[in-house]
Structure 1
C-alpha cells in the first residue's frame, strides 16, 4: 500500500470541466451534470467542494485544528471536508432516537470523531493490525468495529490526536485517505485473493494499481457523491457485487480466457437498486482503465443538484445499460469492449468462515466476531495469536468477519482454540455467522435505535431457543439503526430497519420495520433480489428473537421441499409472516 498523496496549501484548483459547457435549452431544472449543465454549483455541498479541494483540509487539520482544538473548526470543514480524510463527528451520548430527525447536526454531534481506516481489499499485515490496535487503545478508548466495507472504524478520536494517528498509520502503509466523502471509497476485494485453491484469478494487482494511480488524486476528489467499488476473482462472488457502483466479477470467457464481468449502478439506502451487467468482458489488463472510465462518467454525468439523487444508480436507471456501455466505450475508452458471459451462480457461501485449505497446502481460518464488534485489545491479541501460529497476514471481509491466512496444518486446531477464546469463532452458530449490524445510535448521528448490543442479545437468545434449526438453509439477519441500510437490510433474509414503534402498551419504543426474503446471488438463490415488506409488520428492539423464532419456525413447518427462506417469504401470505 502506498503512502497517500500529501495535501498541499496551494490555491484551490479549478474543478475538472468538460470541454463542452454550452447549456442547451431545457424544459426542466438542471440536474447539475457537468457535461450537460456546466459546472456551476447548484447547492451548498457543491459550493464548498469547488471553493477548496476537500483533500486540502488535511493541512488545516495538521497546522491549525490539531493545535487550536475543536472550536477552531469551521462548519464546512467539520461537516464536509473532514470526511475526505475518514473523519465524522460522532453522536453525543444521551440523545434518544426520537430527536434524530428534529435536531441540527451541531446539536447531535459530540466533540469526538469516528475515524475510518481505509483497507482496500481488506488486506492487513499483523504489523498493521497491531498499529490500529495501538491507536484504538491510545486514542479511541479501546473502540474498534469491523465494517461490512472491509474497513476498521475507531471512535472517541479527538482532533488534537489526528496528526499522530496519521503518522502511525502511514508508517506501516495505511491511511484514511478518501475513506469517506464524495470520492472513490475503499475497494472491496476477495478476502482470500491470491491464496484460495479455487480462485479463478487474483485481483490484487488491479486493486493496487487503482489505489496507487487515483486514490487521493484531485481529479477524482469531487464526485457527485460516494463511489463504491468491488472486485473478486473467487467463485463465491464474495464482494456483494450487486450493490456497488462498479464491480468486476471473475468469469471464464470461452475464447478470451479469464477476465471480468462488469456490473454498474448498484446501491441500497432508501431507494435500493441492484447493479446491472453491461454485458462486456474486461481483461485484467483493461480493468483499471475501465474503472477509471466509469468513475469519470459518474463525475461528468452524475446528478449533483439533489443529494438524494446523486448516486450512480439513478443515472443508470435513466440511461439503461446499453447507453451506459456506449458512453463508456465511445467517450471514455475510445474503443469497444468485447461481449462477455455472465459469471455462474456461486456454489458456496462467501464469508469464508471456517477452516479452508489454500493453494499452497497451508490453511486460512475465517472467524466471526459478534456483528463486527471487537476492540483494540482483541485486535492486538489477533496479531499476537496469528504470529504465534506462523501467520503474518489477516484479511477483513464484507460480512464483518476476519480471516487469518497462511496457517500450517498442524497449527490450525490451536489457532482456532485461541481465537475462540477471544470471542472469534471459526465454527459459529448460523445466527452468529449470518447476523450483521451497523454502528447504530451509540455513535451514529443518523441512527434512531441501538443495533450492536441489540443484535448480540438476539443472537444469544436465538442460539438458546433454536440451535441449528435453520442449519440446512441458513438465514441471514441484518440489523440497521436507520433507513440508510448500511447493514444491507434489503438483501437479507430478515432485514430490520430501525425506527420508533408502538408497543403493546401504546408507548413509543425503539424497534424495527421488517424486510423479508432479500438476498444476493449465492448457493441458495440464482439471482439477487430485494426483500418484501408487509404492511404494519414491525417488531420492538427487545422482541427481535421472539419474532425471528416465530417466523423461522413457521418457515421450517411450511416450506416446500428444498425451498429457501427467501422463496418462502415471497410466496407466503402476510399472516404467515407476522
Structure 2
C-alpha cells in the first residue's frame, strides 16, 4: 500500500460561506426600510411638509424653535441651508459637526429653471437681497441666484415676493430633481438644432409636483439644450438631453446619463438613443424613477446615479428604462460630436428674427441687490423683457435691436457687468467658499475676484480660452476637474511651518476638447497668497512653449512637469 502523503492526511478545509453583500438600500431590491438617519428622516415626515411649519411656527418663534432634523435636513427641500458661522476658520472643517459649524442665518437658493429671467424677476430678487440678505446675490453655475444672511423670520415674506413674479426656492436643494438647466438662448439662436423649451415647461408643470419624486437617494441634476454650442455642461449631469439631428427623423435629442464630479468624477455616457421633443419629459421621468427605485441609499457618498450607471453599464440601464419604465424601445441615434469652441454666449450674437442677443459677465457671478435692481432698470430703459442666466454665470439680454447694441453694452458696463471681458474674467468660476459654506477649507469668491484683477494687470489678456476654477473643498461645485486650471482648496503648510489656506492644482481638464479630467500634479500645492504668481508663471510658460493653434489644455498634456509648477 502506498504511503499516505502529508497532503492526503490533512483533513479537507470546509469552504467558508460567501460573505453576504450588504444591502445598498435599493428600494426595488432591498425594500424601503431606512438604512441611515437621512433616510429615516425622509420617511418619518415628508420634507415638503416643513414649509407649513416655517410659515406658522418657526417664522414667529425664531431660530431656536427649529428642531435639528428640520433645520439641518428637511429645510434643504425648501431651498435653504444654514450658512457657516463667521468665526470658524477652514481648519475646523471636518473637525466639527454640521450643527456646530452652522450659523443662525440661511443661504437661500432661488430657482431659475431654463435660466428664464426678466427685469421684474431680477428687480424682485434685488429688492429681497437689499432688504433681507445684506445685499448678497450670486449667480450660480446652475442658473440660479443665491442669497445669504436670511433670517427665518423673513422667509414667508420672501416667498410671497418671489411667488409674485413666478419664482420659488422649493426643491432648490435636497434629495429631489434640482433646477433644470436649459440653453439661455433657446428659441432665438441661429445655431440651434431644436428649441427644448416645451420639454422643460412640461417637466415643471406636470412632473416636478409629483410626490413620488420628492424622496430620491440624493440630488438629481438635469440639463436640456437643443443648442449646437452644447451650453449646459451635459457631461457632468445625472441626465442630459442635447440637440441631435437624426438622419431619418430630423431634430431631436441624444440622451446621456451618469455624469457627476465631486470626489469620484465620471463623465455622462450616451444611451445611444434619439428622443423626439415630445418624448423628452417621459424619458426624463423614467430616468428619475430608476434612480428612485434602484439608486443606492445606504451610503450618502454613493447615492448618486453615476454609481448605478457605472455598475450596470449603459446597455443594461437602457434596457431597464425601456422595459420597466417606458414600455417601448427608444430609437437608436447618432452620437453628437463634441463642440470644441466656447460654449458661453458672451458678446453680440444674431437671432433668427434679425435682432440680436448680448451676453455679459458679472465677475465670478457676484452681484449685489442694488446691482440687480440697476440691471433691471437698464433692461426696462431699453425695452428688454427677456433676460437669461447661464451655466457659466453670465447674463444674456435677448431681442436687442442693432442700433441699441452699443448703448446697451455701455449701460451694462456702467453697472458693473462686462460686455467685452478678458479671457481671464470670462473663464473664471468659483464656489461659495469659506465665507458661507460649511464644507469649505478656503476663501474662494473674493480670492477669484482678486486673481482676475491681478492677471489682467500683469498679463493683460490671452488669445485663447482659459477656464480657471476655484473650489473650497473636494466636492467640485466649481467644476475643478474639467477646467484648464482647477484649484481645490485645502489647508497647507507654508515655508515657516504655519497652516494656511492653499490649493491643490489640477490642470488641463476639459469638456469641449476631448472630455477628460486633466492632470493632477502630485504633491504640488500652492499657498493662497502666492496664487497669482503661480498662474502668471504657468500661463507665461504656456505662451513661450506652445505650438501654433495649441490650446492650453493640449499643451498641459505634453508639458514637462517643471513647466507646470
Deviation at 1:26, TM superposition (A): 8.3
- Aligned-partner Cα distance in 1 for 2:498–2:280: 54
CA distances 1:254-297 after superposition (whole Å, capped 9, x unpaired): 00100000000000011111100010001101100000000000
* Partner residue of 1:517 out of 502, 508, 527: 508
Deviation at 1:463, TM superposition (A): 0.5
1:311 matches 2:271: no
1:88 matches 2:81: yes
CA distances 1:555-577 after superposition (whole Å, capped 9, x unpaired): 12222332221122122232221
* Contact 2:119–2:387 (Cα < 8 Å) also in 1: yes
Where does residue 447 of structure 1 map in the other structure?
440
Unpaired runs of at least 5, structure 1: 1-24
Deviation at 1:462, TM superposition (A): 0.5
* Partner residue of 1:571 out of 555, 558, 564: 558
Q: TM-score, normalised by structure 2?
A: 0.96
Matches within 5 A, 1:3-42: 27-42=20-35
Deviation at 1:454, TM superposition (A): 0.4
* Farther-moved stretch of structure 1 (265-274 vs 401-410): 401-410
CA distances 1:185-237 after superposition (whole Å, capped 9, x unpaired): 00000011111112111111111100111223211000000000001111100
1:361 matches 2:347: no
Where does residue 119 of structure 1 map in the other structure?
112
Matches within 5 A, 1:245-260: 245-260=238-253
SS of structure 2 residue aligned to 1:445: coil
1:429 matches 2:422: yes
Matches within 5 A, 1:130-141: 130-141=123-134
* Partner residue of 2:188 out of 174, 181, 195: 195
- Aligned-partner Cα distance in 2 for 1:133–1:231: 27
- Aligned-partner Cα distance in 2 for 1:82–1:215: 18
Deviation at 1:65, TM superposition (A): 0.6
Where does residue 538 of structure 2 map in the other structure?
551
- Aligned-partner Cα distance in 2 for 1:222–1:128: 29
Q: TM-score, normalised by structure 1?
A: 0.93
1:492 matches 2:483: yes
* Contact 2:252–2:277 (Cα < 8 Å) also in 1: yes
Matches within 5 A, 1:253-268: 253-268=246-261
CA distances 1:508-563 after superposition (whole Å, capped 9, x unpaired): 11110000010102xxx2x3111211111111112111111111111122223322
- Aligned-partner Cα distance in 2 for 1:492–1:366: 21
Matches within 5 A, 1:387-402: 387-402=380-395
Where does residue 162 of structure 1 map in the other structure?
155
Q: How many residues align?
A: 548
Where does residue 535 of structure 1 map in the other structure?
522
Q: Structure 1 pair 369/114, CA: closer, same or farther in 2 (3 Å)?
A: same
Deviation at 1:40, TM superposition (A): 0.3
SS of structure 1 residue aligned to 2:314: helix
- Aligned-partner Cα distance in 1 for 2:340–2:366: 29
CA distances 1:3-37 after superposition (whole Å, capped 9, x unpaired): xxxxxxxxxxxxxxxxxxxxxx9821000000010
Deviation at 1:158, TM superposition (A): 0.6
Q: Which has the larger radius of gyration?
A: 2
Where does residue 54 of structure 1 map in the other structure?
47
- Aligned-partner Cα distance in 2 for 1:309–1:357: 44
